[in-house]
Chain A
């Protein structure tokens, strides 16, 4: 297993290196540059000043030359400077990565906490009234646009009821743990809603399939308690496809959280990467996208490890 993890880590590093080049290339191919965008807010800026700023920010150099300069600096620990935020890239991204991971982890935990038992119930009680209701709510959860849901939550809980803050990550001047948790409720609820619905559908479908297998019938025939059949025998196998989906979802969580982050003014990675791309902040966009890639790769390694834990038949040892 350790050899497998080392191999996968090495593969991931190569993928990151290749990705860094392609992301850099694609960002360089985007129309316009940060200095062109300045003209919109400063029509009196002279052509000489535009040229001088382009030279200062090394925008006129060929992409390959800029990439080589960037990778050399990156190897020495300098990941570059954000033009949009006028700070070193990691100073911008570190707190935002933490904020995003916090938001995602809590919403993922909540989603799994709700989706697994609900999915099992739906699979074990086909055609019941509650199963139909669960299905209906799942489709509704998947269909509701997050921005609309966010707005609805803000109106209900902040404007009318006045019990939860409408946006932000803390009350200015407070910032205690309770205050932060208070601010987290609505973004987590919004982000979890679609995830709960999606995971419930996956757990339910996977469970329904697993429950048809012979070993489940054998387990029941042996007289095992239904609870034990479901949780110890069926669920482990049913979770394998769900784990794959969670691992694949990790990278898209950054982009998926964009709307939630914007609606609730939550300073996270999704919004930062989006702003960096729109604002032609190459360094920030590049590192942000690489972090998203890294997170997806890590999640996939963890998923591979989880497969082996869930199903003892899966082994990563070399067979002679």
Chain B
């Protein structure tokens, strides 16, 4: 009897302990599928690096949940309206004014910004970062954004002016300007060619002085996990957890099992389960977890090889899009969580317009277009032209990507219904992107996604000067070979148009032209799936390249 009561008491305590565990939690374990190659914010671009570093480092400005630029380290953005931005004429080598314009933007750093070793964040760090960024041999990825800056005028420890030789519509944002702690990184920069090997982010990444955010990295096991703990010198809103662990589990099935076993608390949407896995997970475990879906800037589409005589005919391109039911694909394969794309600009982007041509699922229209294009002889269900050429196209994508392979099969059956024969020829991602697409070796259609940014100018993907050729050493990402004078003019005009309203009109024109000319077939915008335990609140997905961890101090546990 006594033993029975004792056991009952133990059981009650265990249940009570378990139920109180959630809201007394001091530690959060996040599961992700990738591990960053380096933690140096200027070297290599990886979403997972941005995800982790956003908890430990803050940038001068970022884009918020409403897709608007906001300050993180600065007091206010530099605009012409508030007098912090000013246009100036560029000088020639004799010191005379030219017709070209540059822009000076004045920023002030917030008070009480400190690195994790107690040293203040100052303009010295800004100036040093520019020195590292503009050096050709340091291995900085977006070097050009630093070389566009011709000078940084330091006024005092907190305010500085960026003198930029390039005046474009993004003048107010210092994107990619991730500041480095000058007092720690100066030694590594003594020999610039060795900087990428000697940076403290590589040689001693747990040094507290490398981080200025609410957390700092305290332990790293390469390829396995990263531990972050509260930064005692962070003077902003105190974060809700004492410790955050980010565990890398590459196989999504194992990631899911780890969540269910309690080894991890939350699966990040930025680098977690695929949409179909998340939908299936939600059906089984919605009582414990809230699954939220955020359509983002990942634009899934079919690039069309416009050098192919079949696809160079606009009527065929229009027939291709009229003969597929993209809404049904989104609803049936992705539970309607991935919105159909009508052009390459995301509906949440302020430059998006609804006035573009939308192609409905219309088999009759598709057949008429194909007949008009001369593909009007049908033998065994496939169309031929008067020269006896078969209407056959190749469709390529990444081998092993289950979602894409499924979509390919559906597309193949849609196109077969109007007499177009599709040969699916998939390749491993590295072959497809490393050779076939980048060197324009695909002959028909290639299905892949573009990761974009809000109000991102499509110069590299749509301008005629960005068509990769052997002569330009395969640079540029205009893989379709799209050449359109009006598109080139629009891209050039948008880049230098500073007035928002005028720019919006130009963007509208660009989107209409894109939808009319169809250099690619828009499919849908991919969605990220966030698997959040019900006790965890405050996570707000953004849908763009600045991850939810930029607001990690808002994450908290509820009772």
* A contacts, CB < 8 Å to B: 30-33, 36-53, 56, 81, 83-87, 92, 147, 150-151, 154-155, 158-159, 162, 165-169, 172-173, 262-265, 267, 271-272, 278, 280
Bound CA span A34–B295, Å: 29
The 6 closest A-B pairs by CB, nearest first: A32-B434, A31-B435, A47-B475, A42-B45, A86-B38, A158-B261
Tell me if B251 and A31 are in contact (CB < 8 A).
Answer: no
A-B contact pairs, 9 of them (CB 8 A): A31-B430, A37-B433, A44-B460, A52-B136, A56-B136, A151-B257, A154-B257, A168-B247, A265-B254
| Contact A158:B435 (CB < 8 A) given known A43-B460, A53-B139, A85-B222 | no
Considering only CB atoms, which chain B residue lies closest to A60 in the complex? B473
Residues of B contacting A44 in the complex (Cβ-Cβ under 8 angstroms):
142, 453, 456, 460
Could you say which of B82-90, B223-231, B506-514 contacts chain A? B223-231
Tell me if B37 and A85 are in contact (CB < 8 A).
Answer: yes
Tell me if B434 and A33 are in contact (CB < 8 A).
Answer: yes
- For A40, A51, A263, the residue with the greatest tally of chain B CB atoms inside 10 Å of its CB is A40
The interface bits of chain B over 260-274 (1 if a CB of A lies within 8 angstroms of the residue's CB, else 0) are 111100000000000
Tell me if B472 and A166 are in contact (CB < 8 A).
Answer: no
Shortest CB distance A171–B (Å) = 9
Shortest CB distance B17–A (Å) = 15
Residues of B contacting A280 in the complex (Cβ-Cβ under 8 angstroms):
430, 434
Tell me if B254 and A263 are in contact (CB < 8 A).
Answer: yes
| Contact A39:B438 (CB < 8 A) given known A158-B263, A172-B219 | yes
Bound CA span A165–B263, Å: 7
Residues of A contacting B452 in the complex (Cβ-Cβ under 8 angstroms):
43
Whether a CB of chain A sits under 8 angstroms from the CB of B143 is: yes
Bound CA span A51–B107, Å: 32
Bound CA span A43–B40, Å: 19
Considering only CB atoms, which chain B residue lies closest to A86 in the complex? B38
Tell me if B431 and A45 are in contact (CB < 8 A).
Answer: no
| Contact A45:B261 (CB < 8 A) given known A36-B434, A50-B475, A53-B139 | no
Residues of B contacting A83 in the complex (Cβ-Cβ under 8 angstroms):
37
Tell me if A32 and B142 are in contact (CB < 8 A).
Answer: no
Considering only CB atoms, which chain B residue lies closest to A54 in the complex? B473
Question: Among A42, A158, A173, A262, which residue has its beta carbon within 8 angstroms of that of B250?
Answer: A262
| Contact A167:B263 (CB < 8 A) given known A37-B430, A86-B37 | yes
The interface bits of chain B over 28-59 (1 if a CB of A lies within 8 angstroms of the residue's CB, else 0) are 00000000011010011111000000000000
Whether a CB of chain A sits under 8 angstroms from the CB of B476 is: yes
Considering only CB atoms, which chain B residue lies closest to A41 in the complex? B45
Interface residues of B in 189-241 (CB under 8 A from A): 196-197, 202, 219, 221-225, 227
Tell me if A49 and B222 are in contact (CB < 8 A).
Answer: no
Residues of A contacting B47 in the complex (Cβ-Cβ under 8 angstroms):
41
Shortest CB distance B229–A (Å) = 11
Residues of A contacting B38 in the complex (Cβ-Cβ under 8 angstroms):
85-86
Bound CA span A172–B435, Å: 41
Considering only CB atoms, which chain A residue lies closest to B45 in the complex? A42
Tell me if A262 and B430 are in contact (CB < 8 A).
Answer: no
Residues of B contacting A36 in the complex (Cβ-Cβ under 8 angstroms):
433-434, 438
Bound CA span A278–B247, Å: 22
Considering only CB atoms, which chain B residue lies closest to A171 in the complex? B263
Bound CA span A87–B205, Å: 12
Tell me if B141 and A154 are in contact (CB < 8 A).
Answer: no
Whether a CB of chain A sits under 8 angstroms from the CB of B451 is: yes
Bound CA span A42–B452, Å: 8
Question: Among A53, A84, A167, A278, which residue has its beta carbon within 8 angstroms of that of B254?
Answer: A167
Bound CA span A154–B249, Å: 13
The interface on chain B, measured as residues whose beta carbon lies within 8 A of the other chain's beta carbons, has a size of 60
Tell me if A45 and B438 are in contact (CB < 8 A).
Answer: no
Shortest CB distance B228–A (Å) = 11
Bound CA span A83–B247, Å: 22
Tell me if A267 and B223 are in contact (CB < 8 A).
Answer: yes
Whether a CB of chain A sits under 8 angstroms from the CB of B528 is: no
Tell me if B222 and A40 are in contact (CB < 8 A).
Answer: no
Tell me if A45 and B142 are in contact (CB < 8 A).
Answer: yes
Bound CA span A280–B472, Å: 22
| Contact A41:B249 (CB < 8 A) given known A51-B475, A165-B263, A172-B219 | no
Question: Among B142, B260, B461, B473, which residue has its beta carbon within 8 angstroms of that of A42?
Answer: B142
Whether a CB of chain A sits under 8 angstroms from the CB of B245 is: yes
Whether a CB of chain A sits under 8 angstroms from the CB of B79 is: no
The interface bits of chain B over 497-517 (1 if a CB of A lies within 8 angstroms of the residue's CB, else 0) are 000000000000000000000
Tell me if B139 and A159 are in contact (CB < 8 A).
Answer: no
Residues of A contacting B44 in the complex (Cβ-Cβ under 8 angstroms):
38, 86
Q: A44-B456, A84-B37 are in contact. List 7 more A-B contacts (CB 8 A).
A: A36-B434, A43-B460, A49-B141, A49-B142, A52-B143, A168-B224, A172-B219
| Contact A32:B451 (CB < 8 A) given known A38-B45, A165-B263 | no
Bound CA span A272–B37, Å: 13
Bound CA span A173–B243, Å: 11
Bound CA span A45–B438, Å: 14
Whether a CB of chain A sits under 8 angstroms from the CB of B23 is: no
Shortest CB distance A296–B (Å) = 24
The interface bits of chain B over 446-488 (1 if a CB of A lies within 8 angstroms of the residue's CB, else 0) are 0000111100100011000010000011011100000000000
Bound CA span A46–B472, Å: 13
Whether a CB of chain A sits under 8 angstroms from the CB of B26 is: no
Bound CA span A41–B466, Å: 18
| Contact A41:B475 (CB < 8 A) given known A52-B136, A86-B38, A262-B250 | no
Shortest CB distance A167–B (Å) = 5
Considering only CB atoms, which chain A residue lies closest to B449 in the complex? A40
Whether a CB of chain A sits under 8 angstroms from the CB of B248 is: yes
Shortest CB distance A275–B (Å) = 8
Tell me if B144 and A265 are in contact (CB < 8 A).
Answer: no
Shortest CB distance B289–A (Å) = 14
Tell me if B223 and A46 are in contact (CB < 8 A).
Answer: no
Tell me if B46 and A41 are in contact (CB < 8 A).
Answer: yes
Considering only CB atoms, which chain A residue lies closest to B429 in the complex? A278
Bound CA span A294–B104, Å: 60
Residues of B contacting A32 in the complex (Cβ-Cβ under 8 angstroms):
430-431, 433-435, 438
Residues of B contacting A167 in the complex (Cβ-Cβ under 8 angstroms):
247, 249, 254, 258, 263
Considering only CB atoms, which chain B residue lies closest to A272 in the complex? B223
Shortest CB distance B220–A (Å) = 11
Residues of B contacting A147 in the complex (Cβ-Cβ under 8 angstroms):
251
| Contact A87:B136 (CB < 8 A) given known A41-B451, A265-B248 | no
Bound CA span A54–B37, Å: 18
Considering only CB atoms, which chain A residue lies closest to B465 in the complex? A47
Tell me if A47 and B472 are in contact (CB < 8 A).
Answer: yes
Whether a CB of chain A sits under 8 angstroms from the CB of B137 is: yes
Whether a CB of chain A sits under 8 angstroms from the CB of B380 is: no
Bound CA span A81–B475, Å: 26
Residues of A contacting B202 in the complex (Cβ-Cβ under 8 angstroms):
86-87
Residues of A contacting B225 in the complex (Cβ-Cβ under 8 angstroms):
168, 172
Residues of B contacting A158 in the complex (Cβ-Cβ under 8 angstroms):
257-258, 261, 263
Residues of A contacting B46 in the complex (Cβ-Cβ under 8 angstroms):
41
Bound CA span A168–B253, Å: 14
Residues of A contacting B37 in the complex (Cβ-Cβ under 8 angstroms):
83-86
Bound CA span A150–B137, Å: 45
- For A47, A50, A52, A165, the residue with the greatest tally of chain B CB atoms inside 10 Å of its CB is A47
Shortest CB distance A113–B (Å) = 27
Residues of B contacting A46 in the complex (Cβ-Cβ under 8 angstroms):
142, 144, 460
Residues of A contacting B461 in the complex (Cβ-Cβ under 8 angstroms):
43
Residues of B contacting A272 in the complex (Cβ-Cβ under 8 angstroms):
223
Shortest CB distance A68–B (Å) = 20
Residues of B contacting A41 in the complex (Cβ-Cβ under 8 angstroms):
45-47, 451
Tell me if A86 and B45 are in contact (CB < 8 A).
Answer: no
Residues of A contacting B141 in the complex (Cβ-Cβ under 8 angstroms):
38, 42, 45, 49, 53
The interface bits of chain B over 371-414 (1 if a CB of A lies within 8 angstroms of the residue's CB, else 0) are 00000000000000000000000000000000000000000000
